[in-house]
Amino acid sequence: MKKILILCTANSCRSQMAEGYFRKFAGDKAEIYSAGVYSTGVNSKAIASMLEDGIDISKHTSNAMEEYKDIDFDYVITVCDNARENCPFWPGNSIHIHNAFPDPTHMIGTEAAMKASFAATRNMIRDYAQQFVADHL
């Protein structure tokens, strides 16, 4: 079984969304983890956006990458530039992949605009996760 780590800055939004989709699409083909350069808690708007697409991430925890340093991952995927810059090397023989997604938490505007920003990022992550699983697992 493959082990996949998804890294982001705070493990609050994009990496949490990715963890949810990777779990859905990979099923029993992989163990999925997510972490951040630091942890801040799971973003409530990310939880709501994922629920709109049928995935419940409300029980996810926000974790710092140091918590997983002893796991030999097959893939380490960074989903934001900050995580890639702050984690240029992961111990072990993992394949490192970078795919930056827009950060919807930086959206300023109406509630509708923020909701649309979260949905757009969610959909990009969903499509990426589905394709990644098809190509690599």
Question: What pLDDT, on a 0 to 100 scale, did the predictor assign at position 93?
Answer: 86
Backbone angles phi, psi at 99, to 5 degrees: -150, 100
* Short-list 3, 26, 22, 23, CA closest to 137: 26
Which pLDDT value is given to residue 87?
58
Q: Which of the following is catalytic: 5, 8, 65, 133?
A: 8
- In the sheet that 2-8 helps form, which strands lie side by side, from edge to edge? 30-36, 2-8, 75-78, 95-98
- Please confirm, yes or no, whether 13 is among the known catalytic residues: no
- Quick one: pLDDT at residue 37? 87
Q: What is the pLDDT of residue 89?
A: 62
N- to C-terminal Cα separation, the chain: 9
- Give, in order, the Cα–Cα distances in Å from 24 to each of 32, 44, 112, 126, 135: 10, 20, 27, 10, 15
The helix (run of H) or strand (run of E) holding residue 85 is: helix 81-86
- Which is the catalytic residue, given 26, 57, 80, 125? 80
Q: Which domains does the chain have, with CATH numbers?
A: 2-136 (3.40.50.2300)
- pLDDT tens digits for the chain (137 residues)? 999 999 998 999 999 999 999 999 999 999 999 999 889 999 999 999 999 999 999 999 999 999 998 999 999 999 987 666 665 566 778 999 999 999 999 888 999 999 999 999 999 999 999 999 999 99
32 close to 2: Cβ distance less than 8 angstroms: no
What confidence score (pLDDT) does residue 81 get?
79
Q: Which of 48, 64, 87, 116 is catalytic?
A: 87
Q: What DSSP string runs through 22-35? A: HHHHHGGGEEEEEE
